[in-house]
Each structure stands twice: as C-alpha cells, then as structure tokens.
Amino acid sequence: MRKETLESIASDLRTGRSVNLSVEDFPCFSEEAAIEDPRTSPEALARISAGLTAKDACVFERAARAVEEGDMAWVGFKVVDNASVAVSNVDNDVTKSYGTIGSADGYDLVFFCNDAKEVVAARDYSARDFFQMKDVTRGPSMHNDQFEGLTWASVPLFDSVKVWLLGASDVAVETAALARHVGFEVEVVDDDASFLSEERFPGCKRTLVSSFDDLGSMRANSSDCVCVLTRGHMHDPEGCVWAIAQGVRYVGMMGCKGKNGRVHDLCVDAGMTEEQWEAIKRPIGLKFGAKTPAELAISIVAELVDVRYRQRYSQEAREKHDASLW
C-alpha cells in the first residue's frame, strides 16, 4: 500500500470529495475474494466507498503514518449484510463474553488497526467489534465469520516477505502454491521455459535465465528468503553461492547428506567460506518425515512461516504470544 494513495483518500474525504476505493489497493474485495465470500465483492467495496465521509479521513491518515513508520498495521473493514442480526448476536458458552450486544451498529465500517492493538475508527465500536478488529492483525481476520450478519476483511500496510524458489521442480510447484496461500511473495527462477509456466506457477513472478551461472545479474533484499530447489539438484551449488552472496535472511537447500557433501565442495571451490556454508539450512524445512513434493512443501513453508515470525516479532513479543497459548 502506498502512503500517497492513503493520503489522497484522506484529503478527498476531508474536502468533501467522493472517493472510490479500488480493488487494486484493497484486494480483499476482489472477484477472487468474492468467490469465497460474496459479501467481499467489488460491489461491496463500492458501497463502502459511497458511505465514507469526512469523519473517516482519520483512518486513512493514521494508515498513511503507519506506512511511513514501517508499522505492522492494517486497514480493516466491517462488512454488514444483515444489520439486525449483526447487532443482536450474542456469545455462547464457549466464547468469552463481550456483553449483551453484538456489533455496535448495523453499518459498514472502515478502521485502522496495528499489531499493538491500536484501533482508529470514525464511529464507536462494541467490545465484540474490538475483539474482531484486533484479530485483523492475525490477517486476514482470524474470526471474520464467527458471528452472523457481518464479516471482516483487511489489507496489510506492510510489504510481504519475498521467497525466491531457485528451480522449477515439482517441490517448487507445491511450495509456491502454499507459500502464496500464507501470504508470501514468490519468484521462481529456472533455465527451462517449459517448466516455468503460468500453469505450474500461477500468480508467481517467473524469471527465465539462460543459465544458472547468470544468477549474479539478479538482486535480492536482506529480508528475502531463498529456497534452493533446482530440478534434480543439478544447479544447487550456483543457487547456494548466489543466495549467500545476496545476504538474505534465510537460505535452505534440499538434499541428503551425501549430495550435500558434493555441493559443499563445489560451493567452497566457488569461494564460499565454511561459516557461510553452515548458514545454509540443510536439509530445508521442518523435520517430520515429509517425503512427497506436497509433504516437503508443507515442511518448507512451515519453516518459512517461523522465519517470518521471528523476523517480524521481538523475542519478548514471541514469548508473550507463546505464553498466551497455554
């Protein structure tokens, strides 16, 4: 999300101009999202846009500041499809009690929420609303369909973590689909166009190189993750050398002990130090007996989620979160 976009929306609202929130900026209301839940359709976003007033400018102003500060924050939406039901819903014996009313009112609402549980909205919200607003930070909304009459949606104001898949192998196909599903940005690199197709990697950036020796022309960020998954492991050394040279946060490589020994020798011959070699996670992924491409993808993406979690949250915050689970 661009800060300038949010500032423009806020400015238009402050001066009384109508706004038209776009699906490109708020993809939680895309046609794809509407397939899973018709309440989060482009038409719903248009309805919400038409209902915004100058009072709602504070939400977008706070969101713009969050982008500037690099805050973990979201713009969220309460989407109401049955006003009377949304207000009258009550908790059951399992859920924590949030009072005798459900949602504060039967109207759509746009709001800001960050990971520190700060909420900014133009209207009052109920204790139940606040519970669901906070869960936007587990995004998308963790309990968006817990109560009838309304749903919740959100868009993050921070960038996704990028995952490079070096090699368009069968394991990479499964890993790409699962990584995208849990919110990673995915780029797949290979030297054979027949493997690097849209059908195999829908929604991913696909980069064709003439040779894995040409990886040096590409640049990764320090926050990126690299999974070395080349077909038949034939170009794992080139992938490992490139990833280490980029200084990325995480590098993982598939393979058994014997294969890793040969890759080690080739990487060292290419100038990699022993310390750099030890920084590569081998074998890639969490260890729980995964063998098939789909099972291996689960182990890989589970590890990526853990890497992202540790990247975004301090040790103190992780300990607090873990303690709350027991």
pLDDT in tens, 157-204: 999 999 999 999 999 999 999 999 999 999 999 999 999 999 999 999
Cα(108)–Cα(44) distance, integer angstroms: 9
Instruction: Average the pLDDT over 274-290 and give the result.
Output: 95
Instruction: Average the pLDDT over 274-302 and give the result.
Output: 95
Count of beta carbons in the 10 Å neighbourhood of residue 111: 26
**Residue 16 carries which side chain, given as an amino acid letter?**
G
pLDDT in tens, 219-262: 999 999 999 999 999 999 999 999 999 999 999 999 777 778 89
Cα(279)–Cα(297) distance, integer angstroms: 21
Is 318 a member of any domain? no
170 & 150 share domain: no
pLDDT of residue 106: 92
Last residue of a domain, which of 156, 178, 207? 156
Split at pLDDT 50, 70, 90, the class of 215 is: very high
113 & 239 share domain: no
| Contact by Cβ (8 Å): 105, 87 | yes
Domain of 61 in residue numbering reads as 3-156
Last residue of a domain, which of 156, 174, 194? 156
pLDDT of residue 55: 97
Is 269 a member of any domain? yes
Is 324 a member of any domain? no
Number of domains in the chain: 2
Cα(197)–Cα(218) distance, integer angstroms: 20
Cα(278)–Cα(271) distance, integer angstroms: 14
| Contact by Cβ (8 Å): 273, 300 | no
Q: Where are the alpha helices (DSSP H) in 135-223?
A: 170-181
135 & 275 share domain: no
Last residue of a domain, which of 156, 179, 194? 156
Based on its alpha-carbon atoms, the radius of gyration of the chain, rounded to whole angstroms, reads 23
Split at pLDDT 50, 70, 90, the class of 123 is: very high
203 & 253 share domain: yes
**Residue 170 carries which side chain, given as an amino acid letter?**
D
pLDDT in tens, 194-203: 999 999 999 9
Is 325 a member of any domain? no
pLDDT of residue 141: 64
State the pTM of this model: 0.84
**Residue 302 carries which side chain, given as an amino acid letter?**
A
